[in-house]
Amino acid sequence: MSASRVLIAEELSPATVEALGPDFEVVRCDGANRDELIPAIADVDAILVRSATKVDAEAIAAAKRLKVIARAGVGLDNVDVKAATQAGVMVVNAPTSNIVSAAELAVGLLLASARNIVPANSALHRGEWKRSKYTGVEVADKTVGVVGLGRIGILVAQRLAAFGVNLIAYDPYVQPARAAQLGVHMATLDELLAEADFITVHLPKTPETVGLIGEEALSKVKPTVHIINAARGGIVDEEALFTAMTEGRVAGAGLDVYASEPCTDSPLFTLENVVATPHLGASTDEAQEKAGIAVAKSVRLALAGELVPDAVNVQGGQIDEAVKAVLPLAEQIGAVACGLATAAVERVDIEVLGEIVDHDVRVLELSALKGVFQVLIHDPVSYVNAPVLAEQRGVDVALTTQAASGDHRSLVRVKLTLTDGSTVRVGGTVASPRQIGKIVEVDDFDVDVPLSDHLAFFRYHDKPGVVGIVGNLLGDAGINIGGMQVSRDDSEHALIVLTVDSPIPAELLDQITDNIGAHSGRFVTLIS
């Protein structure tokens, strides 16, 4: 099998290629040049970009084998996430790679604005010594309003706390108790606007946040206020800010981002009390290296078919270790259930029971679906396209949780409802301490079978001699049995579950089924 091909479409840290490792064929192009990008993306498994490459619907449509788009940074303005999801392509970024760099720049802009560092520097370069003209203000004992108390907002607050400031914040998604632990008092936006001597913005750009600091907001601030935006352009209305500053209603501003970029001709750049930088929030050697390494690791995981915590079009985020240990089990149980189905799948119910439900287990739904569709279709199935495949095929999906789990500390159960009205139910658990996945339920049968690459299931009317017949036929065919268990339900029906070292040919499966008078014989392989 040929090595996976990874396209690096922009200049990235050398550590990126090192983090990818030797298992990939790396190719390069100028992603900003469409004539280079479109043919280059056609036959690669992954593409790594920064901000200059537009991975839009056209580019995604041209990519015949693309599995992952990796943005070495935070923003995804240049990636069509919806088109990628529809195509079953995972999109990943590096959400924490630049947070320290961005926070430090925001603090730098705030201090530069407070002390008139930029105009004083420019004057001295011109040979002008103007100490009195560039008198500034201290940050100590002032009120700093942090608009958006996410990861970067928290870092800014922590760093400014050392200056002896009064910290207030506006963020409707942060609990006051959590803010209090950080030494921050939560306030309404109007309260923050009225009280703050410095306002620093750290919100994502959404329809709700665009223009948030606009004419109305700027009518409520102190005339001595300094406004800092190192988050996203457009959150601070640049036209309204220019008007407020020229009218003396805002004392200073520090800006790193703009509504339209690149931006070189904003009226704000004509004002001496505006400190402006060209979107340098992530522009440190450290941030670029962190971003490159982070997305390289994500690409490795994605191309290995594993769940990527930083995937933006998959339920991601940090997965608890207890849940992570069950991910392979959920996928394998889904595959086994589908392998036992005798008709088309109409509905998939995933039940998660026991101690594990104390954690966020939504990702187990994706894992189980991935297992189901790996059996159903021949095309590659990922955590991204599994829900899409279910929707396209009209398969209903539901996840339920329950604290009680009977004899097991935790249990994952996949129930398939088929188009003929029948059902298939398979339950599994992870056994400590080696975290071995095993099947413990097949419909009404209780079993205890370690999951294996190759499994066979025979249902029959219980009678003597069946085990011998099965063993002899497999032995004659040179197929070694790894394990065997016989289980009986409340009637006289029995189930044999076998783990074998190699696949059972269809002809032999039929022969065994006929010779023991089985109601059904099914072979399931968990090797994708």
Which residues are annotated as catalytic? 232, 261, 279
CB 149 within 8 A of CB 171: yes
Eight-class DSSP state of 446: E
Longest pairwise C-alpha distance within the chain = 105
Q: Are strands 274-276 and 252-255 parallel, antiparallel or unpaired?
A: parallel
Rounded to an integer, what distance in angstroms lies between the CA atom of residue 27 and that of residue 45?
Answer: 11
CB 153 within 8 A of CB 129: no
Q: How far is CA 57 from CA 48, 85, 230, 451, in A?
A: 16, 11, 29, 40
Neighbour-count burial for 478-487, b at 16+ CB within 10 Å, e otherwise: ebeeeebebb
Is 443 in a helix, a strand, or coil?
coil
- Among all chains, which residue has been given the structure tokens 């090595």? 3
In 213-327, which ranges are E strands?
226-229, 252-255, 274-276
- Paired tokens of 112: 């530069």
Instruction: State the SS3 of 163-181.
Output: CCCEEEEECCCCCHHHHHH
- Paired tokens of 448: 């205890």
Is 124 in a helix, a strand, or coil?
helix
